[in-house]
Amino acid sequence: MTEPDIFYIIGNKVRRDLLSHLTCTECYFSLLSNKVSVSSTAVSKHLKIMEREGVIKSYEKDEHFIGPARKYYRITLSKTYIASVTPNLFWYSGVELKDTLEEMKEYSVDLRDLKKSHENLQEMVSDFIKANRKLKDVIDALRDVESYRNHLVKRIKETYLTEIGDMTQLAILHYLLLYGESSVDDLSDVLDLKEREVLRKAEELSRFVPLIIKDNFIKIDEAELKKKLQE
């Protein structure tokens, strides 16, 4: 299978929103349609594009009730994509993430031996090759970190749904884990909820994961979280 045109896929906001919802939980078509502000016809078109590119896959799931099985969608990729766009550099690469956790390694990238000035073309080419090797070390470290984060988010979702069972709270937690903090307005837009509902759900979530909710912003309270871990 050819490499998907991931930058074409994520270049569209509706497709980014659909992917965001699919990373939070498995979704069937009507649920996805309710989460984005476009018509169901447009949602169907975007899903077909992503399925054609190999980013998502559809499957039917028996819900154990009377009626036809629902069509669900899931993301099939497990990659981190890197891109540089400057007046002198344009390159991108997909980094395959690891399926299983391995022992974390120590990485060290020393940039002090990269010269700031050069005598001739040969020196510049030599240092560029050296910089490429250092970049590879950085990407190797990135692969391990992202593999770890991917595994941990999966475990967090499973644990939260099993122990608490509130999908909206989990969606807020998921977003905060990925972005650090968010305005109530942004969460309202992303989750297609009224602002007062976002605040109510955030307050409920804060009973399990301490949050700072202030001046229309929400973020995880790391100091309180550390305190709870020490109790």
Q: pLDDT value at position 191? A: 84
Options 2.102.10.10, 1.10.10.10, 3.40.50.1370, 1.10.287.610; which CATH number does 164-230 get?
1.10.10.10
Task: Look at residue 28 in the predicted model and tell me its pLDDT.
Answer: 86
* pTM over cut 0.85: yes
6-75 and 164-230: same fold? yes
DSSP result, 133-189: HHHHHHHHHHHHHHHHHHHHHHHHHHHHHHHT--HHHHHHHHHHHHHSEEEHHHHHH
Could you tell me the sign of the dihedral formed by the alpha carbons of 164, 191, 61, 47, in that order?
negative
CATH topology of domain 6-75: Arc Repressor Mutant, subunit A (1.10.10)
Cβ neighbours around 190 below 10 Å, total: 20
The whole-number pLDDT of residue 67 equals 63
- Residues (pLDDT < 50) of the chain are none
Quote the CA–CA distance of 16 and 132 in Å, as a whole number: 31
Position 186 scores a pLDDT of: 92
Q: What are the extents of the domains in the chain?
A: 6-75, 79-155, 164-230
Side chain identity, residue 183: S
- pLDDT at residue 192 in the model: 80
